[in-house]
Amino acid sequence: MARQPRPLSQTDKEEAFRTATKALPKWYGEEIGRGMTDSELSAALERVLGIWGGSCGPDRLDVRFQGSGLKIWAGWHIVNHVTEAPLFKGKQTVAMARYLYGIDDPDKAQMSLF
């Protein structure tokens, strides 16, 4: 059965990101709770993403990732990481991790709003 390519929704992109980084809350749960600087979070993501990895299957997103450059690719087709641009790369990956996992940055002090 051939895969039917289709555009990625925001939900698909978030699912791909969670698939690639699923070890982050397991390995760094305490640090996430305290907050992580950009450099700490980048190092953690690099370790979680590893040298190279991926995940796919019937009726599932094809997800590829690598720690070097903090890159994550995904699609409803077989992803070609050589010719396709990553969905997340570098600072985008750090920003998405902060958003999805609610990771504060202790270097950015902000007065409480309440």
List, for residues 84-97, the tens digit of each pLDDT value.
Answer: 999 999 999 999 99
Helices 91-101 and 10-20, axial angle in degrees (round to 10): 100
The whole-number pLDDT of residue 108 equals: 82
pTM for the complete prediction? Answer: 0.89
Q: Dump pLDDT digits (tens) for 7-48.
A: 999 999 999 999 999 999 999 999 999 999 999 999 999 999
Contacts of 57 (CB under 8 A, 6+ apart): none
The whole-number pLDDT of residue 67 equals: 97
The whole-number pLDDT of residue 2 equals: 57
Structure tokens of 29? 């749960």
Query: How do the domains of the chain map onto residue ranges?
Result: 10-101
Percent of the chain scored above 70 by pLDDT? 92
Query: What's the angle, vertex CA 101, arms to CA 99 and CA 107, rounded to 5?
Result: 70
